[in-house]
Amino acid sequence: MEILLVPCEASASLPGSRILVLAPHPDDEVFGCGGALARHVAQGAALTVVIVTDGAYGVAEEQANAVRAMRQQESRVAAAVLGYGEPRFLGLPDRGLHYGEALIGIVQGLLDETQADLVYAPSLHEMHPDHRSLAMATLEAVRRAGGERRLAFYEVGIPLTPSHLIDITPVLARKAEAVACFPSQLLQQRYDQHIAALNRYRTYTLPPEIVAAEAFEVIEAHTLAHNPLSPYRSEYQKQRALGLPMASVDLPLVSVLVRSMDRDALAQALDSVALQTYSNIEVVVVNASGQAHRALGEWCGRFPLRLIEPGVPLNRSAAANAALDAARGELLVFLDDDDYYLPSHIAALKAGLDAAGLATIAVYAGVSCVDAQGVEVRRYQRDFDRLTFAIENFIPIHAVLFRRRALERGARFDEQQTHCEDWDFWLQVQDHGAFRLVPELGALYRVGAGEGSDLWDNVDLARPAMLRVYRKRLPTWSDAQLWHWYELTRYKPLYEQIHDELVSAKQHAAVLEHERNQAQQQFAAEQDHVAALQEHREALQAHLAALQEHLQASETAFAANIAERDAYIAALLGSTSWKLTAPLRKVMALLRGAPKHPQ
């Protein structure tokens, strides 16, 4: 969705060799598109910058001339910084621009004079009245001029929805220098910070190496000839045209058609509709029982519900036709009252139908057949093959979302067909377009315990129903189709054997893949453990090195202390005082009976 609303890449510049820049006031030409202009200058393009008003709104008359001159000079200095030469000043009154023939004529004259193939102007979204008037006049002038020229709306006061982003990273410093050339305006507001923030914000969808960008809404002149009002469309209209729904009513209405015998399972079937993630659904319930139906109310969750009361019993085909007649949706899907959808069923089918294109008349999802305990006993989820489908039905009725045009071209349930009626109907629908499988499980189909299809394992019911379908379809078959049918029937046992072997191989491959994933996870865990052990080993080695260093330092300090002590003792023994006190030490030793000290 994002890439439909905002570009995810930026270019160096917009294409153009003769460029006209229209600024409502002195400074708009720099604030709005100064970076783009600097990049045009670097490419050698010819630029004509026209500043339309004098920028002197609200100034006393005695000061007006000085203000006009000052603002013009600021634009001249900025132009010199960016390198596009002397701007042209029209000198119209500030806040005096009005959309009309006079202003349009001025712009037309500039287009004729410059023969510009690219025109810059403020956008239609701007808040300032001069900006908006000049934008509207430029748009109309470009429309009248036609040709291959482009109009690029720039933003100053109000962000626009851009179609193009220009990378101004290489010229960002130069633009900042040019913005600083308008001190008269920066004293009133920190426009420099505002514009820098806007240019930085415009990199939101761009790669990290782009640090500033300018945004433009580019309109081709020739498109205005067909729809001059297109630039004035609301955001709602623009996003609708892009296929981005902003409300549920923007999505095609899907009619969910329920043939009800008023069974208890109907409540769960309707609950599964109420939980659908697709947001534009109507529910049509046809009472096929011929008896009074329990009240259902007007809503199925958030979706409107209508109960159709024919007043007589209807077989399955007649009930289906009654539902089709009552449906209003552009797209249709059936749901029997004993089956139910998964929440994303309709949304996935709609997405699949959109992806398949208009040539596809219907898409269908996988359906799980479950028994009374909810255990899957079979799954319908095979790719569509017209020949195989002509032989037997492999698409449950609530698997399919189909377009209304099948009904408009005559598809209808055969009310004489009491069984296989959905197969007969789908064979009619496929005459008007392709069928495609959406590879997702979308719904559940109850079988057994008195619910679901009564053709299961009942040849007496299946044979006449299928033969009736064959008799209707066979006259339309060519010889090639009949022979293909014969070959398919002849080789069906071999096909089924190969199919079973393929399914077995896929299951084995899935087991091997699971085992491989487990082995990879175990290997990754062991690698993490080895890395942790290595990290611990390195930590221990570092600690050991620190201890060795500490031990070496201690040994060095100890040796130094011993040497210092020995030197001290040697000095003491050699001192005069030690020698003079030697007799006294002898006497003291004799008195204590101690051994003699050395002399």
391 vs 310 pLDDT, higher one: 310
Query: Is the per-residue pLDDT at 535 higher than 90?
Result: no
Task: Name the band, by pLDDT with cuts 50, 70 and 90, for residue 492.
Answer: low
Task: Name the band, by pLDDT with cuts 50, 70 and 90, for residue 451.
Answer: very low
**Average pLDDT of span 84-98:** 96
Could you tell me the CA-to-CA distances from 438 to 27, 56, 522 in Å, in that order? Answer: 56, 65, 36
Question: SS3 breakdown of the chain: % helix, strand, coil, rounded to 5?
Answer: 50, 20, 30
79 vs 456 pLDDT, higher one: 79
Query: Is the per-residue pLDDT at 455 higher than 70?
Result: no
What confidence score (pLDDT) does residue 259 get? 96
What confidence score (pLDDT) does residue 437 get? 97
Mind listing the pLDDT tens digit for each residue in 390-438? 888 899 999 999 999 999 999 999 998 888 899 999 999 999 999 999 9
Could you tell me the CA-to-CA distances from 284 to 123, 256, 266, 276, 308 in Å, in that order? Answer: 48, 6, 13, 15, 7
What confidence score (pLDDT) does residue 246 get? 57
- Name the DSSP class of 448: B
Task: Name the band, by pLDDT with cuts 50, 70 and 90, for residue 449.
Answer: very low
What confidence score (pLDDT) does residue 459 get? 65
Query: Is the per-residue pLDDT at 452 higher than 60?
Result: no
Query: Is the per-residue pLDDT at 342 higher than 90?
Result: yes
Mean pLDDT of the chain: 89
Residue 364 three-state SS: strand
**Average pLDDT of span 231-259:** 80
- 495-501's contacts with Cβ under 8 Å and 24+ in sequence apart are none
Domains of the chain: 2-241 (3.40.50.10320), 251-477 (3.90.550.10)
Query: Is the per-residue pLDDT at 513 higher than 80?
Result: yes
314 vs 500 pLDDT, higher one: 314
Task: Name the band, by pLDDT with cuts 50, 70 and 90, for residue 387.
Answer: confident
Percent of the chain past pLDDT 70, that is, above it, reads: 93
- 41-47's contacts with Cβ under 8 Å and 24+ in sequence apart are 41/82, 41/83, 41/84, 42/171, 43/12, 43/13, 45/16, 45/17, 45/18, 45/19, 46/17, 46/18, 46/19, 47/19, 47/21, 47/84, 47/85
